[in-house]
Chains A and B, each alone.
Chain A
Amino acid sequence: MTQSFPKREFLIVGILAAIVLVVLPCLNAFTPPESAFHVSTFSLSLYGKYLTYAILALGINLLWGYTGILSLGQCLFFSLGGYALGMHLMLMIGRLGQYKADIPDFMVFLEFPAKYPETGGLPPHWIPFKSFWFAALMVVVVPAVVAYIFGWLAFRSRIKGVYFSILSQALTYAACLMFFRNDFTFGGNNGLTDFKTILGYDINSPGVKRALYLCSGGLLLLTYLFCRWLTSTKYGLIQRAIRDSENRVLFSGYATANFKLFVFVLAAIISGVGGALFVPQVSAINPSEMTPAKSLEAVVWVAVGGRGNMLGPIIGAVGINAFKSYATHAFAEQWPYIIGFLFIFVTLFMPKGIIGLPEQFRTIKRRIQQRNKSVDTPAESAVATTSEGVAK
């Protein structure tokens, strides 16, 4: 784990950022649609979706890859952020909806005006979401508060490892059931959808789509740089120490629960912001985004890309989702087999993910070399193995 920013990584990130943030939007904006280089607005939105997933993956990586906390509830925070912005977008539809009412369609449909007559059918907690900035604030605050409460309870009583995973899964499951209910005032299983405008602009216009894409890309870059910085500080060192042996850190006098709580809340905020950018690009959010299975899937992106590394999760999230989009069109029936076997394969044979492959190959190569050498000089290899054992 190097502290500095190695030149090679800097170069790779620079090139990737240039492609994502400059080349693709330019190809969308300035090439004619019939050109071979043209990137359609639909594709750009799709890439934007992958980028928001990558933000989610970075949050998971911060938790799992660097602190050793496997949370199966990250999609809950992602969805909470999404719902917070979605509520604002829902209110901005105004009278453009099918029922031509002041309140969102589903509220008319579910007969909310009878339930909340004093506000004309709008549940009271929806009212502040008429302001964009309030909604934007809630995108951060709601996931953070939920994560704080749950994390405080869990870490205080030293729930860790698989127990934490199972509990966070239960939390997600309970929340998911809750959001599926119609009387929970968030649209039941249809969720929030059919948005029309964002900040007064048409949400489906190419310009706005491009702007949203750029926001996702920019935010991903910022998150990446932030996580990169955070893990290189002294805090990051403790974080990794907790991952490797929490008890030793605890006995050294550090309040590990507070460190874990901080990173848990931080990851929730990152996920929430990702979710907020996901919603306007996909134009919908519903409870199926927060099922425990989705959270597991997101964990797998990180595992496939390579955890404990900042680039791995991004590669994993974008790669698997791009592959999924292609595969569910080309061979939908086989997709569960592919993804299922991919998990099994990656966990068994690629513990460091795609990003760790070169290192794995190097290790194998070194071993082969050593074996060859040991045939020549057995004594030397014995020394080598002992030193390796100590290093481990």
Chain B
Amino acid sequence: MDMAFLLRRIVIFLIAAVILSSLFARGQDTNEFRRILAAAVIADDGDAQLEGIKQLINSSDELVARALAAWRLGELYVLTTGADEKIPILLDSRLDEEGRARAIRIRDGEYLKGETGEEKLFLASDLTPADTTSRLRRTIKTMLDLYAMANPMPRMRRDAVVKLGQEQNPDYLPHFEARQKIETDPEVKRALNEAIQLTRMADESAAVRNPAIIALGELNSINSLHFLKQFRTTATNDPAKYGQETIQALTASIVKIENHIWWGNVVGTVFRGFSLASVLLIAALGLAITFGLMGVINMAHGEVMAVGSYTAFMVQGIFGTGLMFSLFGNPIRIKGFGLTGTGFDAYFVVALMASFIMAALVGLLLERGIIRFLYKRPLESLLATWGVSLVLQQIFRHTFGAANVQVDSPSFLSGSFTFNGSPIGFNRIFVISFALFIVYGTYLLLTKTSLGLQIRAVMQNRNMASCVGVRTDRVNMMTFALGSGLAGMAGCCLSQIANVGPSLGQSYIVDCFMIVVLGGVGNIVGTVTASMGVGMTNQILEPWLGAVLGKIIVLGAIILFLQWRPAGIFVTKSRSLEG
């Protein structure tokens, strides 16, 4: 037997001893906490109960936490035995057929057993719940929050810390500090820091108080703003007690935090403005092509967008748990692949393409069936396509029901982060980048491909284009299909941020037309500019005037703006008299 082997044996033995002893010690501790709790439950005196509960502060025992939570909800029972002995018990969550459950004795965590050794069963309604008072419940709640600081989920930990910090109770300080030493999650760390400073802010001594106030300002703690302001009111009412220095520190911190929030709001408003502008832009881009380039008023444009949204809904159903709809009164059930996770998330990519294709097909049908007869009668194309929009809406209603359908965001689009207190959603970021993408795509298509060249030629002079051999009929068809396809993609995008229902299109159609007219008909750059302007103005006006009044003012402003530039922001120059 050599030395190395011996040493290893010794080390292993020592480790085992340490583990064992720690286990043993922990067991002793847990039992102690359980005993304290059991004693507190059956104590007659309310103060004694509170004292007992407060002793549980260092417990990490799950049963204690469970029992406390149950006590607060009146689900902790006191069983009185024949010998007038009171036993606090907790009922198991698993019930038998008669609704009875096994009872756990708080004192030692064992199941209550009968004389023959089998586990006794109890009915909750037969038992007496342990008494609670509102003071008791509050204390228990705090205790549970303290336990929650050790919760494995960082978000739960953060929420608990924020809540405890707002109580400004100096008793918690050691717990915060202890937690801060072992905490790894940066957000929880920050919340702990805030909670500590917030608690210290209420300290009697200015030497502790003032640095804490300044630290809160440095932290840009939005949650503490309310406390700081309250404190400032108290302090200014009684400057002698709190001292000028505290008041100055308070003011400085409040200004700093408010500044921080203001910036957050500015960025938030700009972001929301961009995202609204992108939505309008995506929705109006298809219209800018059909109306702007072809001069066809397609009142069913909104419904073509809805076709895209419903396509997204169907693709989602096929990837997920399947979908049901009725086709001309016949119920149809399609079995889904039942995908989850990344597989399901991929539906959105497929849906984007499918919605383009579906909407383009609808557009193609519309152009071949109706619109090509009306190129010379634009006002009448308005009426006929309105008829189409009524029919399509009713088809949606009959196929998918009158209520809105649920389109789930893929996981990479749900969620958000906050910037200086303003929430910024991933779905909106996606909408903005998607808008940029399709505008660029459309620009490339119109300027770099032969189809784009033909489209522009037909738009400028239909007869001349026809004379030099452009098949105007085919170009019309392609252009309309392209515009409709873009509308379909817009609908797919909208399904991520708005409700999908039969009247989805109606809520966008007036805005879309206004944007195309405002931007200057037949001008993509104009459409982009106009939607930016409208989206931003809307978001800037909204906090002051509310959404509806803001919209009314924007509409009024557009009407007035067209007085100044009747042909829109960017005018496509033409020698034709009728323009």
Contacts and interface: CB of A to CB of B under 8 A. Distances in A.
Given A159-B562, A161-B379, A162-B379, A173 B387 contact: no
A249 interface: no
Contact of B552 (A177, A292, A293, A344): A177
Contacts of A344: 370, 384, 387-388, 391
Contacts, number: 114
A173 B566 contact: no
Interface in B363-381: 370, 373-374, 377-381
A169 B517 CA distance: 13
B25 interface: no
Interface stretch (B113-121, B468-476, B553-561): B553-561
Interface string A53-67: 000000000001000
Given A165-B297, A173-B555, A348-B370, A337 B562 contact: no
Contact of A296 (B386, B521, B578): B386
A157 interface: yes
Contacts of A153: 559-560, 563
Contacts of A340: 387-391, 394
Interface residues of A, number: 43
Given A180-B548, A336-B394, A170 B384 contact: no
A176 B556 CA distance: 13
Contacts of A163: 517, 521
Nearest to A174: B555
Given A153-B559, A163-B517, A247-B577, A299 B383 contact: yes
A298 B387 CA distance: 13
B395 to A, nearest CB: 8
Interface string A281-301: 000000000001100100110
B378 A167 contact: no
A153 to B, nearest CB: 5
Interface in B473-501: none
Given A70-B379, A162-B378, A180-B548, A337 B394 contact: yes
Contacts of B391: 336-337, 340-341, 344
A342 interface: yes
Given A178-B552, A343-B383, A158 B566 contact: yes
Interface in B272-288: none
Nearest to B389: A340
Given A153-B560, A342-B387, A169 B394 contact: no
A7 B373 CA distance: 37
Given A159-B566, A292-B510, A336-B394, A170 B382 contact: no
B559 A170 contact: yes
- B: interface residue count bin: 35 or more
A157 B382 contact: no
A181 interface: yes
B161 interface: no
A376 interface: no
A257 interface: no
A347 B383 contact: yes
B190 interface: no
A342 B513 CA distance: 24
A177 B551 contact: yes
Contacts of A169: 510, 513
A300 B555 contact: no
A150 B398 CA distance: 40
B386 A174 contact: no
A108 interface: no
B380 A347 contact: yes
Q: State the majority secondary structure of interface residues on B.
A: helix
Contacts of A336: 390-391, 393-394
B387 A343 contact: yes
The secondary-structure label for the interface of chain A is helix
Contacts of B387: 300, 339-344, 347
B563 A156 contact: yes
B549 interface: yes
Which of A293, A299, A343, A348 counts the most B-chain CB atoms under 10 A from its CB?
A343
Nearest to A251: B577
B378 A170 contact: no
A158 B521 CA distance: 15
A98 B382 CA distance: 45
A177 B548 contact: yes
A351 B506 CA distance: 26
Given A336-B390, A339-B387, A347-B384, A173 B510 contact: yes
A384 to B, nearest CB: 24
A162 B381 CA distance: 10
A386 B231 CA distance: 95
Interface in B535-573: 548-549, 551-552, 555-556, 558-560, 562-563, 566
A343 B517 CA distance: 25
Nearest to B393: A336
A162 B383 CA distance: 11
A342 B577 CA distance: 35
B502 to A, nearest CB: 10
B199 to A, nearest CB: 43
Contacts of A139: none
B370 A157 contact: no
Contacts of B299: 296
B530 interface: no
B68 interface: no
From B370, B378, B383, residue with most partner A Cβ within 10 Å: B383
Contact of A166 (B513, B563, B577): B513
Central interface residue in B297, B387, B388, by most chain A CB within 10 Å: B387
A218 to B, nearest CB: 31
Contacts of A159: 562, 566
B149 interface: no
Query: Which 7 pairs between the two chains have the least Cβ-Cβ distance?
Result: A343-B387, A340-B391, A340-B390, A336-B394, A347-B384, A174-B555, A157-B566
Given A337-B394, A341-B387, A343-B387, 7 more contacts: A153-B563, A158-B566, A161-B378, A169-B513, A181-B549, A247-B578, A296-B386
17 contacts: A161-B379, A167-B559, A167-B562, A170-B513, A170-B559, A173-B555, A174-B551, A180-B548, A181-B548, A337-B390, A339-B387, A340-B388, A341-B387, A347-B387, A348-B373, A348-B374, A351-B377
